[in-house]
């Protein structure tokens, strides 16, 4: 009792003196105002150019240096240079959507099959395949794209495919198949074997177990991997640039780079980039809502849903 009574008057002035210090003299680790400031500075530095590009996509005039008023001219108002009326920009937008849909529809089932096979296969060989799946995240995309370019232009068996839509789809599927394979395999490890064993004890065949037990449990991971593949193809540049053959199969990312790099960019290019950004946000939003809906009985929070869709589940 005595020690408490003696220490209390000493502690109170010390706390008061510490709180009376100027804010810039306080311990930044105890009150991380400095770290918060760097965080806000980074956000402003990274998001301000995007906001400016989006703003100038609604510019009434052709200038990219002075804002002349709000207008939808570069989306559909201009009869020559807007996204809707310019054949090159119009084709690039639909080409991107087509590549994203085709790649997702092909890569996700193959990746799920890989995940199921590797999860059930024991030995040195499946471990090697699992390592190869992870290795695809380490190999630079430029090297992979150049290798595919030589495959489709030099190998006798695949030379008939040539460059173009099919080469782009095959290249994107090969590059993105690791996403569903790894994400679904992580979900399988988390689920465990007990559900399959219980289903077998109840008399279900392997096909019934897969259709009625495993697929409903794997749907959140399959959906998250599909969102990742679709959004990844939207802004892919290296593979589609190396494997495209002409302007009719050139997606938005290549059009934006080639046009702006040549010095011919304008507000219409900003509008195309804004559409590309909007597509990514819409896909991510739908993925977030869909994942929350599929896991509504599992006590999963918003941060966990974003982490799972980002590929860390």
Q: Containing domain of residue 46, as a range? A: 2-55
The number of distinct structural domains making up the chain is 2
Q: What burial letters (b/e) apply to 126-139, b meaning 16+ CB within 10 Å?
A: eeeebeebeebeee
pLDDT tens for residues 182-231? 888 888 888 777 777 788 777 777 777 787 888 888 888 888 888 889 98
Domain of 244: which CATH number? Answer: 1.10.3720.10
Which has the minimum average pLDDT: 106-110, 124-128, 154-158? Answer: 124-128
- Is the pLDDT confidence value at 313 over 80? no
The whole-number average pLDDT for the span 74-90 is: 80
Q: Quick one: average pLDDT of 64-85?
A: 79
Residue 1 has pLDDT above 50, yes or no: no
pLDDT in tens, 10-35: 444 544 555 555 555 555 556 667 77
Q: Which pTM was predicted? A: 0.74
In the predicted model, is pLDDT for residue 167 greater than 80? yes
**Which pLDDT score is estimated for 103?**
93
Are 91 and 224 part of one and the same domain? yes
Same domain, 44 and 188: no
Which of 83-92, 129-138, 219-228 has the weakest average pLDDT?
129-138
Mean pLDDT taken over the chain: 77
Is residue 44 included in any domain, yes or no? yes
Do residue 138 and residue 194 come from a single domain?
A: yes
- Same structural domain for residues 48 and 109? no
- C-beta of residue 248 within 8 angstroms of C-beta of residue 91: yes
Does residue 235 lie in a domain region? yes
- Of residues 81 and 264, more confidence is placed in 81
What average pLDDT does this structure show over 30-47?
80
Residue 109: which pLDDT band, with cuts at 50, 70 and 90?
A: very high
Does 20 share its domain with 131?
no
């Amino acid at each position: 009792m005595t020690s408490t009574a003696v220490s209390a008057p000493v502690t109170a002035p010390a706390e008061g003196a510490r709180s009376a210090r100027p804010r810039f003299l306080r311990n930044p680790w105890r009150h991380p105002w400095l770290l918060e400031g760097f965080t806000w500075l980074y956000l402003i530095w990274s998001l301000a150019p995007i906001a400016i590009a989006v703003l100038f996509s609604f510019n009434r005039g052709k200038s990219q240096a002075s804002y002349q008023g709000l207008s939808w001219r570069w989306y559909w108002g201009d009869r020559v240079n807007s996204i809707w009326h310019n054949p090159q920009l119009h084709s690039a937008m639909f080409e991107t959507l087509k590549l994203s849909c085709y790649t997702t529809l092909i890569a996700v089932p193959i990746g799920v099959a890989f995940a199921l096979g590797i999860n059930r296969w024991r030995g040195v060989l499946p471990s090697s395949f699992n390592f190869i799946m992870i290795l695809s995240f380490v190999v630079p995309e430029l090297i992979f794209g150049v290798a595919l370019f030589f495959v489709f232009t030099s190998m006798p068996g695949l030379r008939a495919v040539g460059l173009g839509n099919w080469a782009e789809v095959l290249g994107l599927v090969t590059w993105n198949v690791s996403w569903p394979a790894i994400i679904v395999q992580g979900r399988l490890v988390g689920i465990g074997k007990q559900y399959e064993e219980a289903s077998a004890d109840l008399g279900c065949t392997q096909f019934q177990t897969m259709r009625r037990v495993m697929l409903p449990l794997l749907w959140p991971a399959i959906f998250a991997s599909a969102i990742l593949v679709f959004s990844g193809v939207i802004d892919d540049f290296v593979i589609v640039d190396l494997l495209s053959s002409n302007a009719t199969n050139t997606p938005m990312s290549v059009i934006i780079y080639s046009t702006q790099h040549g010095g011919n960019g304008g507000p219409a290019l900003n509008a195309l980039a804004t559409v590309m950004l909007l597509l990514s946000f819409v896909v991510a939003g739908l993925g977030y809502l869909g994942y929350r809906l599929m896991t509504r009985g599992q006590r999963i929070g918003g941060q966990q849903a974003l982490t799972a869709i980002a590929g860390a589940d």
